[in-house]
Structure 1
Amino acid sequence: MKYTEKYQIGFNECDENQHLKLPSMVDLLMKVSEDQLDAGRAGTEALMERGLGWVVTQYHFEIKNLPRPMDKVILSTEASGYNRFFEYRDFGISDQQGNELVKVTSQWVMFDLKARKLIPCDEELMKQFKVPLLPKMPHFSRLRALKQYDQSRKYRVRYDDLDTNHHLTNSHYFNWFIDMMDRDFLRKHLVSQIDIKFDQEVRYGEQPLSLMSLKEDKNDLMSYHAIEDDTGKVRTVCELKWRSI
Protein backbone atom coordinates (compact mmCIF):
# COMPACT_ATOMS: atom_id res chain seq x y z
CA MET A 1 0.00 0.00 0.00
CA LYS A 2 1.67 3.20 -1.22
CA TYR A 3 1.58 6.25 1.05
CA THR A 4 2.28 9.82 -0.14
CA GLU A 5 2.66 13.27 1.39
CA LYS A 6 3.12 16.73 -0.08
CA TYR A 7 6.07 18.69 1.23
CA GLN A 8 7.84 22.01 0.58
CA ILE A 9 11.63 22.03 0.77
CA GLY A 10 13.12 24.58 3.20
CA PHE A 11 16.26 26.65 2.76
CA ASN A 12 17.72 25.07 5.90
CA GLU A 13 17.48 21.64 4.25
CA CYS A 14 19.67 22.66 1.29
CA ASP A 15 23.40 23.24 0.76
CA GLU A 16 25.15 26.31 -0.63
CA ASN A 17 24.41 25.10 -4.18
CA GLN A 18 20.71 25.16 -3.24
CA HIS A 19 20.32 21.40 -3.53
CA LEU A 20 18.66 19.22 -0.90
CA LYS A 21 21.33 17.90 1.47
CA LEU A 22 21.73 14.12 1.66
CA PRO A 23 21.11 14.00 5.45
CA SER A 24 17.97 16.12 4.97
CA MET A 25 16.81 13.80 2.19
CA VAL A 26 17.17 10.73 4.42
CA ASP A 27 15.33 12.52 7.25
CA LEU A 28 12.41 13.31 4.90
CA LEU A 29 12.17 9.67 3.81
CA MET A 30 12.15 8.57 7.44
CA LYS A 31 9.42 11.13 8.15
CA VAL A 32 7.05 9.82 5.48
CA SER A 33 7.69 6.22 6.55
CA GLU A 34 7.07 7.08 10.19
CA ASP A 35 3.82 8.86 9.30
CA GLN A 36 2.55 5.79 7.46
CA LEU A 37 3.55 3.42 10.26
CA ASP A 38 2.07 5.69 12.93
CA ALA A 39 -1.30 5.49 11.22
CA GLY A 40 -1.16 1.70 11.61
CA ARG A 41 0.17 1.69 15.18
CA ALA A 42 3.57 0.44 14.01
CA GLY A 43 5.62 3.62 14.35
CA THR A 44 8.52 4.29 16.69
CA GLU A 45 6.43 5.04 19.78
CA ALA A 46 4.18 1.99 19.39
CA LEU A 47 7.13 -0.33 18.84
CA MET A 48 9.08 1.12 21.77
CA GLU A 49 6.16 0.19 24.03
CA ARG A 50 6.87 -3.40 22.96
CA GLY A 51 10.64 -2.98 23.37
CA LEU A 52 11.16 -3.10 19.61
CA GLY A 53 12.51 -0.87 16.87
CA TRP A 54 13.09 -0.79 13.11
CA VAL A 55 16.74 -0.87 11.99
CA VAL A 56 17.85 -0.38 8.39
CA THR A 57 20.61 -2.65 7.08
CA GLN A 58 21.00 -1.42 3.49
CA TYR A 59 19.92 1.35 1.09
CA HIS A 60 20.16 1.86 -2.66
CA PHE A 61 19.46 5.39 -3.97
CA GLU A 62 19.05 6.48 -7.59
CA ILE A 63 19.09 10.27 -7.82
CA LYS A 64 18.04 12.00 -11.04
CA ASN A 65 17.96 15.42 -9.44
CA LEU A 66 17.74 17.01 -6.02
CA PRO A 67 15.01 19.48 -5.05
CA ARG A 68 15.81 23.13 -4.35
CA PRO A 69 14.56 25.55 -1.66
CA MET A 70 10.81 26.17 -1.80
CA ASP A 71 10.25 23.33 -4.29
CA LYS A 72 6.99 21.51 -3.67
CA VAL A 73 7.52 17.75 -3.86
CA ILE A 74 5.67 14.50 -3.24
CA LEU A 75 7.23 12.09 -0.76
CA SER A 76 6.22 8.43 -1.07
CA THR A 77 6.86 5.12 0.62
CA GLU A 78 5.65 1.55 0.39
CA ALA A 79 6.49 -1.70 2.17
CA SER A 80 7.33 -3.82 -0.88
CA GLY A 81 7.78 -7.24 0.70
CA TYR A 82 9.15 -9.35 3.53
CA ASN A 83 10.63 -12.74 4.37
CA ARG A 84 11.50 -14.38 7.68
CA PHE A 85 13.91 -11.73 8.96
CA PHE A 86 13.86 -8.82 6.50
CA GLU A 87 11.32 -6.21 5.48
CA TYR A 88 11.79 -4.27 2.25
CA ARG A 89 10.64 -0.70 1.84
CA ASP A 90 10.69 1.63 -1.18
CA PHE A 91 10.78 5.42 -1.09
CA GLY A 92 10.49 8.18 -3.63
CA ILE A 93 10.63 11.92 -4.14
CA SER A 94 8.92 13.40 -7.18
CA ASP A 95 7.95 16.86 -8.36
CA GLN A 96 4.37 18.11 -8.46
CA GLN A 97 3.94 16.76 -11.99
CA GLY A 98 4.88 13.28 -10.81
CA ASN A 99 8.37 13.25 -12.37
CA GLU A 100 10.63 11.02 -10.30
CA LEU A 101 13.59 12.79 -8.70
CA VAL A 102 14.80 10.18 -6.21
CA LYS A 103 14.12 6.44 -6.02
CA VAL A 104 15.17 4.34 -3.01
CA THR A 105 15.01 0.67 -2.09
CA SER A 106 15.90 -0.49 1.41
CA GLN A 107 16.18 -3.52 3.68
CA TRP A 108 15.14 -3.47 7.34
CA VAL A 109 15.03 -5.73 10.39
CA MET A 110 12.96 -5.60 13.56
CA PHE A 111 15.21 -5.20 16.59
CA ASP A 112 14.81 -6.16 20.26
CA LEU A 113 16.06 -3.00 21.96
CA LYS A 114 16.83 -4.64 25.30
CA ALA A 115 18.53 -7.79 24.00
CA ARG A 116 20.17 -5.80 21.14
CA LYS A 117 19.40 -8.48 18.57
CA LEU A 118 17.16 -8.87 15.53
CA ILE A 119 13.95 -10.88 15.73
CA PRO A 120 11.77 -12.49 13.03
CA CYS A 121 9.32 -10.31 11.12
CA ASP A 122 5.93 -9.76 12.72
CA GLU A 123 3.69 -11.58 10.23
CA GLU A 124 0.48 -10.08 11.64
CA LEU A 125 1.93 -6.61 11.17
CA MET A 126 2.92 -7.45 7.59
CA LYS A 127 -0.64 -8.63 6.88
CA GLN A 128 -2.04 -5.45 8.41
CA PHE A 129 -0.08 -3.36 5.89
CA LYS A 130 -0.77 -5.86 3.08
CA VAL A 131 2.92 -6.55 2.59
CA PRO A 132 3.58 -9.55 0.28
CA LEU A 133 5.70 -12.49 1.42
CA LEU A 134 8.67 -12.76 -0.96
CA PRO A 135 9.91 -16.14 -2.24
CA LYS A 136 13.48 -14.83 -2.49
CA MET A 137 15.49 -11.85 -1.26
CA PRO A 138 15.73 -8.76 -3.50
CA HIS A 139 19.18 -8.01 -4.86
CA PHE A 140 21.38 -5.34 -3.27
CA SER A 141 24.97 -4.49 -4.13
CA ARG A 142 27.49 -6.61 -2.28
CA LEU A 143 29.53 -3.90 -0.59
CA ARG A 144 32.98 -4.53 0.81
CA ALA A 145 35.41 -2.16 2.46
CA LEU A 146 38.58 -1.29 0.56
CA LYS A 147 41.85 -2.68 1.90
CA GLN A 148 43.17 0.85 2.18
CA TYR A 149 41.66 4.36 2.00
CA ASP A 150 43.34 7.62 1.03
CA GLN A 151 41.87 9.82 3.76
CA SER A 152 40.66 9.38 7.33
CA ARG A 153 39.15 11.62 9.97
CA LYS A 154 38.07 10.89 13.54
CA TYR A 155 34.59 11.86 14.76
CA ARG A 156 32.82 11.56 18.08
CA VAL A 157 29.22 10.40 18.48
CA ARG A 158 27.45 13.19 20.38
CA TYR A 159 24.17 12.98 22.28
CA ASP A 160 22.34 14.94 19.54
CA ASP A 161 23.55 12.41 16.94
CA LEU A 162 21.51 9.59 18.49
CA ASP A 163 18.09 8.34 17.40
CA THR A 164 15.38 6.67 19.48
CA ASN A 165 17.10 3.29 19.03
CA HIS A 166 20.01 4.80 21.01
CA HIS A 167 22.60 4.72 18.23
CA LEU A 168 23.87 7.05 15.50
CA THR A 169 20.93 8.13 13.35
CA ASN A 170 20.97 7.02 9.70
CA SER A 171 21.15 10.47 8.17
CA HIS A 172 24.17 11.52 10.24
CA TYR A 173 26.47 9.07 8.46
CA PHE A 174 26.10 11.23 5.37
CA ASN A 175 27.36 14.27 7.28
CA TRP A 176 30.59 12.38 7.91
CA PHE A 177 30.83 11.17 4.29
CA ILE A 178 30.24 14.59 2.73
CA ASP A 179 32.58 16.27 5.22
CA MET A 180 35.43 14.18 3.77
CA MET A 181 34.94 15.77 0.33
CA ASP A 182 36.65 18.97 -0.79
CA ARG A 183 34.40 22.04 -0.95
CA ASP A 184 35.38 22.84 -4.56
CA PHE A 185 34.49 19.28 -5.54
CA LEU A 186 31.09 19.53 -3.87
CA ARG A 187 30.33 22.81 -5.64
CA LYS A 188 30.87 21.12 -9.02
CA HIS A 189 29.36 17.68 -8.46
CA LEU A 190 26.12 16.00 -7.38
CA VAL A 191 25.54 12.48 -6.11
CA SER A 192 23.69 10.33 -8.65
CA GLN A 193 23.72 6.96 -6.85
CA ILE A 194 24.23 5.73 -3.30
CA ASP A 195 24.76 2.24 -1.90
CA ILE A 196 25.23 1.91 1.84
CA LYS A 197 25.34 -1.11 4.15
CA PHE A 198 25.14 -0.89 7.94
CA ASP A 199 26.98 -3.83 9.51
CA GLN A 200 26.97 -2.70 13.14
CA GLU A 201 25.56 0.26 15.04
CA VAL A 202 27.69 3.17 16.25
CA ARG A 203 26.93 4.30 19.81
CA TYR A 204 27.20 7.34 22.03
CA GLY A 205 30.72 8.45 22.97
CA GLU A 206 32.49 6.26 20.42
CA GLN A 207 35.11 7.92 18.23
CA PRO A 208 35.06 6.12 14.89
CA LEU A 209 37.14 6.92 11.81
CA SER A 210 35.49 8.09 8.60
CA LEU A 211 37.53 6.71 5.69
CA MET A 212 37.37 7.84 2.05
CA SER A 213 38.94 7.32 -1.39
CA LEU A 214 37.91 9.14 -4.58
CA LYS A 215 38.48 7.20 -7.80
CA GLU A 216 37.61 6.98 -11.47
CA ASP A 217 36.06 3.53 -11.86
CA LYS A 218 35.04 2.35 -15.36
CA ASN A 219 34.38 5.96 -16.43
CA ASP A 220 32.36 6.58 -13.25
CA LEU A 221 33.51 9.04 -10.61
CA MET A 222 33.15 7.18 -7.32
CA SER A 223 33.87 7.92 -3.68
CA TYR A 224 34.32 4.91 -1.41
CA HIS A 225 33.59 5.34 2.29
CA ALA A 226 33.73 3.31 5.48
CA ILE A 227 33.14 3.91 9.18
CA GLU A 228 35.67 2.03 11.29
CA ASP A 229 35.85 1.70 15.08
CA ASP A 230 39.00 2.07 17.18
CA THR A 231 39.73 -1.66 16.87
CA GLY A 232 39.79 -1.47 13.07
CA LYS A 233 36.42 -3.18 12.64
CA VAL A 234 34.29 -1.78 9.80
CA ARG A 235 30.81 -0.75 10.96
CA THR A 236 29.44 0.77 7.73
CA VAL A 237 30.41 0.74 4.05
CA CYS A 238 29.16 3.22 1.45
CA GLU A 239 29.71 3.98 -2.25
CA LEU A 240 28.70 7.28 -3.84
CA LYS A 241 28.57 7.86 -7.60
CA TRP A 242 29.01 11.48 -8.69
CA ARG A 243 28.16 13.54 -11.78
CA SER A 244 29.17 17.02 -12.82
CA ILE A 245 26.69 19.85 -12.21
Structure 2
Amino acid sequence: MKYSENHTIEFSECDENQRLKLPAMVDLLMQVSEHQLENGAAGTNDLMKRGLGWVVTQYHFDIQSLPHPQEQVVLSTEASGYNRFFEYRDFEIATSDGEALVTAQSQWVLFDIKNRKMVPTDEELMQRFGAPELKKMPRFPRLRAQKEYDSSRKYRVRYDDLDTNHHLTNGHYFNWFIDMFDRDFLKDHVVKTIDLKFDREVRYGETPLSLIKIENEDQIKSYHAIEDEQGNEQAICELIWRKND
Protein backbone atom coordinates (compact mmCIF):
# COMPACT_ATOMS: atom_id res chain seq x y z
CA MET A 1 0.00 0.00 0.00
CA LYS A 2 1.85 3.05 -1.28
CA TYR A 3 1.40 6.45 0.35
CA SER A 4 2.43 9.74 -1.28
CA GLU A 5 2.30 13.44 -0.55
CA ASN A 6 3.54 16.60 -2.25
CA HIS A 7 6.27 18.77 -0.81
CA THR A 8 8.01 22.00 -1.82
CA ILE A 9 11.74 21.94 -1.06
CA GLU A 10 12.60 24.85 1.25
CA PHE A 11 15.81 26.89 1.25
CA SER A 12 16.32 25.85 4.88
CA GLU A 13 16.46 22.20 3.75
CA CYS A 14 19.31 22.86 1.30
CA ASP A 15 23.04 23.49 1.57
CA GLU A 16 25.04 26.41 0.15
CA ASN A 17 25.07 24.67 -3.24
CA GLN A 18 21.27 24.69 -3.23
CA ARG A 19 21.02 20.90 -2.97
CA LEU A 20 18.83 19.08 -0.48
CA LYS A 21 20.94 18.26 2.59
CA LEU A 22 21.26 14.57 3.43
CA PRO A 23 19.94 15.02 7.00
CA ALA A 24 16.95 16.94 5.60
CA MET A 25 16.41 14.20 3.00
CA VAL A 26 16.20 11.58 5.74
CA ASP A 27 13.89 13.81 7.81
CA LEU A 28 11.50 14.18 4.85
CA LEU A 29 11.36 10.42 4.36
CA MET A 30 10.73 9.86 8.06
CA GLN A 31 7.98 12.48 7.88
CA VAL A 32 6.08 10.81 5.04
CA SER A 33 6.47 7.42 6.75
CA GLU A 34 5.11 8.85 10.00
CA HIS A 35 2.10 10.31 8.18
CA GLN A 36 1.25 6.94 6.65
CA LEU A 37 1.69 5.19 9.99
CA GLU A 38 -0.51 7.74 11.75
CA ASN A 39 -3.27 7.05 9.26
CA GLY A 40 -3.07 3.37 10.22
CA ALA A 41 -2.92 3.98 14.01
CA ALA A 42 0.74 2.90 14.10
CA GLY A 43 2.48 6.26 14.39
CA THR A 44 4.85 7.37 17.13
CA ASN A 45 2.13 8.34 19.61
CA ASP A 46 0.16 5.13 18.99
CA LEU A 47 3.21 2.95 19.59
CA MET A 48 4.36 4.93 22.63
CA LYS A 49 1.05 4.04 24.33
CA ARG A 50 2.17 0.42 23.95
CA GLY A 51 5.71 1.19 25.14
CA LEU A 52 7.09 0.60 21.64
CA GLY A 53 8.96 2.51 18.95
CA TRP A 54 10.23 2.00 15.42
CA VAL A 55 14.03 1.68 15.06
CA VAL A 56 15.82 1.49 11.72
CA THR A 57 18.74 -0.95 11.45
CA GLN A 58 19.89 -0.44 7.85
CA TYR A 59 19.43 1.86 4.83
CA HIS A 60 20.38 1.74 1.16
CA PHE A 61 19.94 4.89 -0.95
CA ASP A 62 20.34 5.44 -4.69
CA ILE A 63 20.54 9.13 -5.59
CA GLN A 64 20.09 10.29 -9.17
CA SER A 65 19.79 13.95 -8.23
CA LEU A 66 19.15 16.01 -5.12
CA PRO A 67 16.30 18.53 -5.49
CA HIS A 68 16.75 22.29 -5.20
CA PRO A 69 14.91 25.06 -3.32
CA GLN A 70 11.34 25.67 -4.46
CA GLU A 71 11.29 22.42 -6.43
CA GLN A 72 8.00 20.53 -6.23
CA VAL A 73 8.56 16.87 -5.33
CA VAL A 74 6.46 13.84 -4.45
CA LEU A 75 7.45 11.93 -1.31
CA SER A 76 6.36 8.27 -1.32
CA THR A 77 6.70 5.30 1.00
CA GLU A 78 5.49 1.73 1.20
CA ALA A 79 5.74 -1.09 3.74
CA SER A 80 7.33 -3.64 1.42
CA GLY A 81 7.34 -6.73 3.62
CA TYR A 82 8.11 -8.34 6.97
CA ASN A 83 9.32 -11.50 8.65
CA ARG A 84 9.45 -12.64 12.26
CA PHE A 85 11.61 -9.81 13.56
CA PHE A 86 12.14 -7.29 10.74
CA GLU A 87 9.95 -4.87 8.82
CA TYR A 88 10.97 -3.46 5.43
CA ARG A 89 10.02 -0.08 4.01
CA ASP A 90 10.78 1.59 0.66
CA PHE A 91 10.94 5.31 -0.07
CA GLU A 92 11.07 7.60 -3.07
CA ILE A 93 11.53 11.28 -3.81
CA ALA A 94 10.31 12.03 -7.33
CA THR A 95 9.66 15.05 -9.50
CA SER A 96 6.07 16.14 -10.06
CA ASP A 97 6.37 14.37 -13.45
CA GLY A 98 7.21 11.07 -11.77
CA GLU A 99 10.96 10.96 -12.37
CA ALA A 100 12.69 9.24 -9.44
CA LEU A 101 15.35 11.44 -7.84
CA VAL A 102 16.04 9.34 -4.73
CA THR A 103 15.04 5.77 -3.92
CA ALA A 104 15.70 3.99 -0.65
CA GLN A 105 15.20 0.63 1.02
CA SER A 106 15.26 0.20 4.77
CA GLN A 107 15.04 -2.44 7.50
CA TRP A 108 13.29 -1.79 10.82
CA VAL A 109 12.48 -3.44 14.13
CA LEU A 110 9.87 -2.79 16.78
CA PHE A 111 11.63 -1.69 19.95
CA ASP A 112 10.60 -1.99 23.60
CA ILE A 113 11.44 1.51 24.84
CA LYS A 114 11.60 0.64 28.54
CA ASN A 115 13.64 -2.55 28.25
CA ARG A 116 15.68 -1.28 25.25
CA LYS A 117 15.30 -4.45 23.20
CA MET A 118 13.61 -5.51 19.98
CA VAL A 119 10.30 -7.38 20.00
CA PRO A 120 8.73 -9.68 17.37
CA THR A 121 6.88 -8.22 14.41
CA ASP A 122 3.23 -7.26 14.92
CA GLU A 123 1.70 -9.26 12.07
CA GLU A 124 -1.73 -7.64 12.36
CA LEU A 125 -0.13 -4.22 12.03
CA MET A 126 1.82 -5.32 8.94
CA GLN A 127 -1.31 -6.70 7.30
CA ARG A 128 -3.05 -3.40 7.98
CA PHE A 129 -0.57 -1.75 5.61
CA GLY A 130 -0.73 -4.51 3.02
CA ALA A 131 2.84 -5.68 3.66
CA PRO A 132 3.50 -9.27 2.54
CA GLU A 133 5.20 -11.83 4.76
CA LEU A 134 8.61 -12.56 3.25
CA LYS A 135 10.17 -16.00 3.03
CA LYS A 136 13.58 -14.51 2.22
CA MET A 137 15.15 -11.49 3.83
CA PRO A 138 15.96 -8.64 1.42
CA ARG A 139 19.71 -8.43 0.92
CA PHE A 140 21.56 -5.30 1.94
CA PRO A 141 25.29 -4.80 1.29
CA ARG A 142 27.40 -6.28 4.05
CA LEU A 143 29.23 -3.43 5.77
CA ARG A 144 32.37 -3.94 7.81
CA ALA A 145 34.47 -1.50 9.78
CA GLN A 146 37.83 -0.57 8.28
CA LYS A 147 41.02 -1.65 10.03
CA GLU A 148 42.30 1.91 9.87
CA TYR A 149 40.77 5.32 9.19
CA ASP A 150 42.35 8.51 7.87
CA SER A 151 40.99 10.87 10.52
CA SER A 152 38.49 11.19 13.35
CA ARG A 153 36.57 13.87 15.21
CA LYS A 154 34.77 13.81 18.54
CA TYR A 155 31.16 14.96 18.92
CA ARG A 156 28.76 15.28 21.83
CA VAL A 157 25.13 14.16 21.70
CA ARG A 158 22.99 17.17 22.62
CA TYR A 159 19.41 17.21 23.83
CA ASP A 160 18.14 18.51 20.47
CA ASP A 161 19.85 15.60 18.69
CA LEU A 162 17.47 13.05 20.26
CA ASP A 163 14.32 11.50 18.84
CA THR A 164 11.26 10.15 20.68
CA ASN A 165 13.04 6.82 21.24
CA HIS A 166 15.56 8.82 23.34
CA HIS A 167 18.57 8.20 21.10
CA LEU A 168 20.35 10.05 18.29
CA THR A 169 17.92 10.80 15.48
CA ASN A 170 18.56 9.09 12.12
CA GLY A 171 19.33 12.18 10.07
CA HIS A 172 21.88 13.52 12.55
CA TYR A 173 24.38 10.76 11.73
CA PHE A 174 24.78 12.38 8.32
CA ASN A 175 25.81 15.66 9.92
CA TRP A 176 28.74 13.83 11.49
CA PHE A 177 29.62 12.01 8.26
CA ILE A 178 29.48 15.08 6.01
CA ASP A 179 31.34 17.28 8.49
CA MET A 180 34.43 15.12 7.96
CA PHE A 181 34.90 16.49 4.41
CA ASP A 182 36.36 19.83 3.48
CA ARG A 183 34.21 22.50 1.90
CA ASP A 184 35.84 22.35 -1.55
CA PHE A 185 35.14 18.63 -1.86
CA LEU A 186 31.47 19.12 -0.97
CA LYS A 187 31.13 21.93 -3.50
CA ASP A 188 32.45 19.72 -6.29
CA HIS A 189 30.88 16.34 -5.42
CA VAL A 190 27.49 14.86 -4.66
CA VAL A 191 26.57 11.51 -3.11
CA LYS A 192 25.49 8.76 -5.52
CA THR A 193 24.80 5.83 -3.17
CA ILE A 194 24.54 5.43 0.60
CA ASP A 195 24.72 2.30 2.71
CA LEU A 196 24.28 2.74 6.45
CA LYS A 197 24.01 0.15 9.22
CA PHE A 198 23.17 0.92 12.85
CA ASP A 199 24.71 -1.40 15.44
CA ARG A 200 24.27 0.28 18.82
CA GLU A 201 22.28 3.21 20.15
CA VAL A 202 23.94 6.59 20.51
CA ARG A 203 22.51 8.31 23.58
CA TYR A 204 22.37 11.71 25.23
CA GLY A 205 25.63 13.03 26.67
CA GLU A 206 27.84 10.50 24.92
CA THR A 207 30.91 11.74 23.05
CA PRO A 208 31.36 9.38 20.11
CA LEU A 209 34.01 9.59 17.41
CA SER A 210 33.21 10.05 13.73
CA LEU A 211 35.87 8.33 11.60
CA ILE A 212 36.53 8.52 7.86
CA LYS A 213 38.65 6.82 5.21
CA ILE A 214 38.55 7.94 1.56
CA GLU A 215 39.52 5.85 -1.47
CA ASN A 216 39.88 7.36 -4.93
CA GLU A 217 40.46 4.57 -7.41
CA ASP A 218 37.80 3.70 -10.01
CA GLN A 219 35.39 5.89 -8.04
CA ILE A 220 35.48 8.06 -4.94
CA LYS A 221 34.27 6.07 -1.96
CA SER A 222 34.26 7.13 1.67
CA TYR A 223 34.08 4.76 4.61
CA HIS A 224 32.64 6.04 7.88
CA ALA A 225 32.13 4.75 11.39
CA ILE A 226 30.72 6.06 14.64
CA GLU A 227 32.43 4.64 17.72
CA ASP A 228 31.78 5.16 21.41
CA GLU A 229 34.41 6.21 23.95
CA GLN A 230 35.53 2.59 24.35
CA GLY A 231 35.96 2.06 20.61
CA ASN A 232 32.78 0.03 20.20
CA GLU A 233 31.17 0.34 16.78
CA GLN A 234 27.81 2.13 16.81
CA ALA A 235 27.21 2.72 13.09
CA ILE A 236 28.98 2.05 9.76
CA CYS A 237 28.39 3.91 6.52
CA GLU A 238 29.74 3.79 2.97
CA LEU A 239 29.21 6.65 0.50
CA ILE A 240 29.96 6.62 -3.22
CA TRP A 241 30.45 10.08 -4.75
CA ARG A 242 30.34 11.60 -8.22
CA LYS A 243 31.48 14.91 -9.63
CA ASN A 244 28.89 17.64 -9.98
CA ASP A 245 27.39 17.94 -13.45
- TM-score, with structure 2 as normaliser: 0.99
Residue aligning to 1:78: 78
Equivalent position amino acid for 1:42 in 2: A
Aligned to 1:233: 232
Residue identity matched to 1:230 = E
The alpha-carbon deviation at position 236 of structure 1 amounts to 0.2
Q: Measure, in 1, the Cα distance between the counterparts of 2:20 and 2:238.
A: 19
Aligned equivalents of 1:196, 1:18: Cα separation in 2? 24
Q: How does 1:107-118 map to 2 (within 5 A)?
A: 107-118=107-118
With the length of structure 1 as denominator, give the TM-score of the two structures. Answer: 0.99
- What runs of 5+ residues in structure 1 fail to find an aligned partner? none
Aligned to 1:160: 160
Q: State the Cα deviation string for residues 158-206 of structure 1 (Å, max 9, x = none).
A: 0000000000000000000000001000000000000000001100000
SS of the aligned residue for 2:66 comes to coil
**CA displacement at 1:129 relative to structure 2:** 1.0
Distance in 2, matches of 1:240 and 1:128, equals 35
Please show how residues 185-204 of structure 1 align to structure 2 within 5 Å: 185-204=185-204
Q: Which amino acid aligns with 1:237?
A: I
**Distance across 1 between alignment mates of 2:172 and 2:128:** 31
- Distance in 2 separating the partners of 1:129 and 1:11: 33
Matched AA of 2:114: K
Shift of 1:130: 1.2
In 1: Cα distance, 2:102 partner to 2:238 partner = 17
The separation in 2 between residues aligned to 1:134 and 1:156, in whole angstroms, is: 39
Q: Secondary structure at the match of 1:16?
A: coil
How far is the alpha carbon of 1:128 from its aligned partner?
1.0
Which residue does the alignment assign to 1:173? 173
- Match runs of 1:1-245 below 5 Å: 1-217=1-217, 219-245=218-244
User: Taking every aligned residue pair, what percent have the same amino acid on both sides?
Assistant: 67
Deviating runs (4+, > 4 A) in structure 1?
none
Q: Count how many residue pairs are aligned between Structure 1 and Structure 2.
A: 244
- Structure 2 gaps, min length 5: none
Q: Does the residue aligned with 2:191 lie in a helix, a strand or coil?
A: strand
**Root mean square deviation of aligned Cα:** 0.5
How far off is 1:240 after superposition?
A: 0.5
